Amino acid sequence: MQNKKPSQAERIAHFTARLDFETDPSDVHSDIEAGVAFTFIDVRSDSAWNQGHAVAALHMHHSEIDSRAAREVPQSLPVVVYCWGPGCNGAHRAALKFAVLGYEVKEMIGGFEYWAREGYPVEDLQGPVKRPKDPLTVPLDSITCDC
């Protein structure tokens, strides 16, 4: 079965939209290091947060967004949300909730899994967690994937 092949304009629109709505751990970390103002939110459960999370993140389970966002997340700043990883759609639900509330929001693709695997700062309830970079996700001799 053959599908209609997308036009060049449709391809450009598709990939432009993905870049408008998604980011990745490397870009998020670079923005944090550069002092770019945004709110970074972990939308996983309490037990997931306690097990480990991105150091710069605020914890707000996706079920709490409607009740907490207006008090805790400045509407003037972009929001980046993450959940576990590529096999989880919690970040999709969270991004939708922030979008409905009028926030400029992006999903961090790869979620916490790729944040940690790429060697970015992680902590748990005891403090910083040192994890080696995973050579399947990032060059070992570089700060970023340089994609």
Domains of the chain plus CATH, in order, are: 23-129 (3.40.250.10)
Query: pTM here?
Result: 0.90
Average pLDDT over residues 70-97: 96
pLDDT at 1 over 60: no
- Judge contact between 145 and 138, C-beta under 8 A: yes
Instruction: Quote the pLDDT of residue 23.
Output: 98
Instruction: Quote the pLDDT of residue 141.
Output: 78
Instruction: Quote the pLDDT of residue 143.
Output: 62
pLDDT at 147 over 80: no
CA 24 – CA 13 distance, rounded (Å): 19
CB burial readout 36-72, b (16+ within 10 A) else e: eebbbbbbbbeebbeebbbebbeebbbeebeeebeee
Two structure tokens written together for 78: 């972009």
